[in-house]
Amino acid sequence: MKILVLNGPNLNMLGTREPAIYGSGTYDDLQQMIRTHAEKCGVEVLFYQSNHEGALLDAIQQAYFDGVDGIVFNPGAYTHTSVALLDALKTVGIPTVEVHISNVAKREDFRQISYVRAACVATVMGKGFAGYTEALDILAKGAGQ
């Protein structure tokens, strides 16, 4: 099983970025944690992060051509703005779990809309970095198949 872990804008700045909300771990730490978990589960993981909406769209489309089985997706702020990312997920039909490090449900009003959610099999939020491994487990168990 091949899983793409896709991160949107500003998530490359984890560790530096608002540590009171997102924690002190870096993006490298996050990748390492997921890699270790994926190895235990016998799942192949690919990582991609971009600050650009179009690059995230390209990555979702490429995942289709690369035979990716599932996407763990933290779209960052594009969660709350991007119909194009929703459409891309619908286009490829790859089971996707939406992840947020923080509990967006308890944050500002503008974070209460998630466009991508309509194309996701599950949402994990407010669990810090552990939300990514939980998302991977959901996909590994075959949600959405």
Count of alpha carbons within 13 angstroms of residue 144, beta-carbon side: 24
Q: How far is the CB of 88 from ligand DQA (least distance, A)?
A: 17
Q: How far is the CB of 22 from ligand DQA (least distance, A)?
A: 7
Active site residue 22: yes
Of these residues, 37, 100, 115, 132, which one is catalytic? 100
Could you list the residues that contact ligand DQA (CB under 6 A)? 10, 74, 76-77, 79, 100-102, 104, 111
Active site residue 48: no
CB atoms within 10 A of CB 55: 12
Residue showing tokens 């939980």: 134
The answer to whether 75 touches 123, Cβ cutoff 8 Å, is: no
Nearer to ligand DQA, 128 or 142 (CB): 128
**Which of 127, 120, 74, 125 is CA-nearest to residue 97?**
120
Tokens of 22: 């997102």
Q: How far is the CB of 72 from ligand DQA (least distance, A)?
A: 12
Report the catalytic residues: 22, 100
